[in-house]
A and B are shown apart, each in its own frame.
Chain A
Amino acid sequence: QKEVEQNSGPLSVPEGAIASLNCTYSDRGSQSFFWYRQYSGKSPELIMFIYSNGDKEDGRFTAQLNKASQYVSLLIRDSQPSDSATYLCAVHSGGGADGLTFGKGTHLIIQP
């Protein structure tokens, strides 16, 4: 059974600080890793993906991957109130047609 684990939160971060979101996965054969943002009552939207060990930066967002530790993280710099949402970690373990396995998400609150 493939599993993706996230702390459900809520994680409260003051505006302007760095928000750090973490995720672990059980399938060592996992190949692709994704972060989605989901506002209350809306569908998830893709923020970033990462395939290789190390860091990947996109604007205020940085994804970090450590395959040896089976660990993925998302850093949000200069956090804004509009970043308040649930962040979903997702993993693809190969095989082509099957979809992503999602964590239950971390609820992030940015305090003005």
Chain B
Amino acid sequence: SQTIHQWPATLVQPVGSPLSLECTVEGTSNPNLYWYRQAAGRGLQLLFYSVGIGQISSEVPQNLSASRPQDRQFILSSKKLLLSDSGFYLCAWKGIGNTIYFGEGSWLTVV
């Protein structure tokens, strides 16, 4: 069966510091992968998606970036965090019939 893991689960970072969130998927090959953010009062927002190694599409302009160095690895990064980057970050993969399955999530607080 397919599983998805992401880490770290929680982190507190100062403004201007870098960020790296990592996600890996097991039990499937060449999955479509996604990064979503859930901020208070704003719902789930699609940030990036990837259909393959090195292929990244951005849905919204921001100071975040994503990379896919391996087939089942997806990384979300920032060089300098802003207060507005705080939120719950979710990695996800697409299964059959456009169904999205989420990882456990990473809580980011920028202080």
Chain A contact residues, CB within 8 Å of chain B: 31-32, 34, 42-46, 49, 51, 88, 90, 92, 96-105
Establish whether residues A32 and B32, one from each chain, have CB atoms under 8 Å apart when the complex forms.
no
Establish whether residues B102 and A45, one from each chain, have CB atoms under 8 Å apart when the complex forms.
yes
Contacts of B105 in A (CB 8 A): 42-43
B97 at the interface (CB under 8 A from A): yes
B49 interface neighbour in A44, A97, A104, Cβ under 8 Å: A97
B7 at the interface (CB under 8 A from A): no
Establish whether residues B104 and A43, one from each chain, have CB atoms under 8 Å apart when the complex forms.
yes
Establish whether residues A99 and B42, one from each chain, have CB atoms under 8 Å apart when the complex forms.
no
27 contacts between A and B (CB under 8 A): A31-B98, A42-B105, A43-B102, A43-B103, A43-B104, A44-B44, A44-B102, A45-B102, A46-B99, A46-B101, A49-B99, A51-B97, A88-B44, A90-B44, A92-B98, A96-B51, A97-B49, A97-B57, A98-B57, A99-B36, A99-B92, A100-B46, A100-B100, A101-B46, A103-B43, A104-B42, A104-B43
Cα A111 to Cα B47 in complex, Å, equals: 36
B interface, over-half SS: strand
Establish whether residues A99 and B97, one from each chain, have CB atoms under 8 Å apart when the complex forms.
no
Chain B, range 12-58, C-beta contacts under 8 Å to A: 32, 34, 36, 41-44, 46, 49, 51, 57
Could you tell me the distance in whole angstroms from the C-beta of A95 to the nearest C-beta in chain B?
10
A interface, over-half SS: loop
Could you tell me the distance in whole angstroms from the C-beta of B53 to the nearest C-beta in chain A?
14
Given contacts A97-B32, A97-B51, A102-B44, contact A34 B90 (CB under 8 A): no
Contacts of B51 in A (CB 8 A): 96-97
Chain B residue nearest to A103 in the complex (CB): B43
What would 7 more interface pairs be, CB under 8 Å, given A97-B49, A99-B92, A100-B98? A42-B105, A43-B103, A46-B99, A46-B100, A49-B99, A96-B51, A104-B41
Contacts of A46 in B (CB 8 A): 99-101
Could you tell me the distance in whole angstroms from the C-beta of A18 to the nearest C-beta in chain B?
25
Contacts of B92 in A (CB 8 A): 99
B80 at the interface (CB under 8 A from A): no
